[in-house]
Chain A
Amino acid sequence: MKEIKSLLQKEIMLEWKQKYAFNGLVLYIVSTIFVCFLSFKQIIDPPTWNALFWIIMLFASVNAIAKSFLTESRGRQLYFYSIASAQAVILSKIIYNLVLMLVLSIFNLIFYTLFLGNIVQDMPMFIVGLCLGSAGFASVMTMISAIASKAGSSSTLMAILSFPILIPLLITIIRFSKNAMDGIDWSINYKFAIILIALNVLTIALSYLLFPYLWRE
């Protein structure tokens, strides 16, 4: 537990020191939304609004999380290897990326609402979906970024490896937030929330089990 805490602290310190990286991500989201705004002008159709929102989230998450292992130098990785357990490293990375994704998703929602309007009827439910979706993106992408960093660190590889296995998550989250947009009751929508939670738990458990094999060299 202490290991995770100090590793998490190190991640946040590092992010704070390199604020340009985070600002870059926010700018990435804002400019993507602005391009969408110029191309669409206004979106009245709920499915389109929803799909575009999650596609922006998807690309933002690839960009945000790709760097979590790619930017670590070999020397630094070796250092962590000698002082911390593999499980602590992956869990701290997942938690850190989860927080990062939550912050980015809030930015995304705010700017998306400003430019393209907001046609969500059940906002609390939509935000629950946003949290579950961000958590799912963060946990899957962290593991994929670890795999891609071992395989020559190309960001194309990261996208190729992650997109197909994100499809189940993406379909479920789009369905869930579409129901939230239409104001459909929890009694119908809860099963998608359960799938999302199950996917998150599964991903984190698998990362916990498999990461040690990636880590040792």
Chain B
Amino acid sequence: MKLYLKIICVAFLLFSIIGGLLIPVPRLPILHETIRNLFYHVPMWFSMIAVLIASLYYSIKYLGSNEMRYDVLAEESAKVGVMFGILGLITGSIWAKNTWGAWWTNDVKLNGAAATMLVYFAYFLLRNSLDDEYKRARIAAVYSIFAFALMAVFIFILPRLTDSLHPGNGGNPAFAKYDLDSTMRIVFYPAVIGWTLLAAWIVNIRVRIHKIQNHFLDLE
């Protein structure tokens, strides 16, 4: 990863973490100060989706080329995506406990997130159950493409057809409602970019670790 991207990443993250706590926010009923969770919870999902799409892209590339480096990239992207997904679930749960009064509710968006996590856990299990390196790469790539396409329907289409308690659905205040309040955007966009860059950075480091481990295995 280029150095300037790393600098942008760190600068944006520092700015959004500190700025997110300091800037004035609109006082909306029920939400009040918890609206600041927008700066911490929502970027998790943006970066999760970004790395999971990267994982899908590398899976397709692998099937097209049969090069192992694409498989490593696909696997590590999926792992980082799941990590961000778990962070998103935690930040969302804490917020839900304080605004809705429950850690978990039966809601399309929440269920979509949980099902996505289950799919990727199944993906890792499938990988572990296969010993042959090339067979594992191929079968895992097929599963991840197949699963991603079906989950995309679930996450992007179904929530738009049903009511939801989650902000952004069914008349609940959402990001679009804050359009008037441009100060929130000043912090929100850098947060999204910063966290996505951080995710890419982690993937980058993990792939390099993987390479070194493989190198040592070859030496033995």
Q: List A contacts of B158 (CB < 8 A).
A: 168, 171-172, 195
- Chain A, interface residues (CB within 8 Å), range: 20 to 34
Q: Which one of A202, A210, A217 lies within 8 Å of B142 (CB-CB)?
A: A210
Given the known A-B contacts A147-B142, A165-B119, are A213 and B63 also in contact in the complex, defined by CB atoms under 8 Å?
yes
Q: List B contacts of A168 (CB < 8 A).
A: 115, 150-151, 153-154, 158
Q: Which residue of A lies closest to B146 (CB)?
A: A206
Is A100 an interface residue when CB atoms closer than 8 A count as contact?
A: no
Task: Tell which of B125, B135, B151, B153 has the most Cβ of chain A within 10 Å.
Answer: B153
Q: Which residue of A lies closest to B120 (CB)?
A: A164
Q: List A contacts of B129 (CB < 8 A).
A: 151-152, 154, 157
Q: Using an 8 Å CB-CB cutoff, how does the interface string of B114-148 with A read, 1 for contact, 0 for none?
A: 01101100100110011000010011011101110
Q: Check B154–A202 contact: CB distance below 8 A.
A: no
Is A167 an interface residue when CB atoms closer than 8 A count as contact?
A: yes
Is B217 an interface residue when CB atoms closer than 8 A count as contact?
A: no
Is B99 an interface residue when CB atoms closer than 8 A count as contact?
A: no
Q: Check B111–A167 contact: CB distance below 8 A.
A: yes
Given the known A-B contacts A165-B119, A172-B158, are A198 and B153 also in contact in the complex, defined by CB atoms under 8 Å?
yes
The number of residues on chain B lying at the interface, defined by a beta carbon within 8 Å of a beta carbon of chain A, is 28
Is A10 an interface residue when CB atoms closer than 8 A count as contact?
A: no
The CA-CA distance from A165 to B151 in the complex, in Å, is 7
Q: List A contacts of B63 (CB < 8 A).
A: 210, 213
Q: Using an 8 Å CB-CB cutoff, how does the interface string of A194-217 with B read, 1 for contact, 0 for none?
A: 010011001100110010011001
Q: Check A164–B130 contact: CB distance below 8 A.
A: no
Q: Check A164–B149 contact: CB distance below 8 A.
A: no
Q: Which one of B115, B126, B149, B151 lies within 8 Å of A147 (CB-CB)?
A: B126
Extra inter-chain contacts (16) besides given A160-B122, A167-B115, A203-B150, CB under 8 Å: A147-B139, A150-B130, A151-B129, A154-B129, A161-B126, A161-B143, A165-B119, A165-B147, A165-B151, A167-B111, A168-B115, A168-B154, A169-B150, A191-B161, A206-B145, A213-B138
Q: Which residues of A contact B (CB under 8 A)?
A: 140, 143, 147, 150-152, 154, 157, 160-161, 163-165, 167-169, 171-172, 191, 195, 198-199, 202-203, 206-207, 210, 213-214, 217
Would you list 25 pairs from A and B whose C-beta atoms are within 8 A, ordered by A residue?
Answer: A147-B146, A150-B139, A152-B129, A152-B130, A157-B125, A160-B125, A164-B116, A164-B147, A165-B150, A167-B111, A167-B154, A168-B153, A168-B158, A171-B111, A172-B158, A195-B161, A199-B150, A199-B153, A206-B145, A207-B146, A210-B142, A213-B141, A213-B142, A214-B138, A217-B135
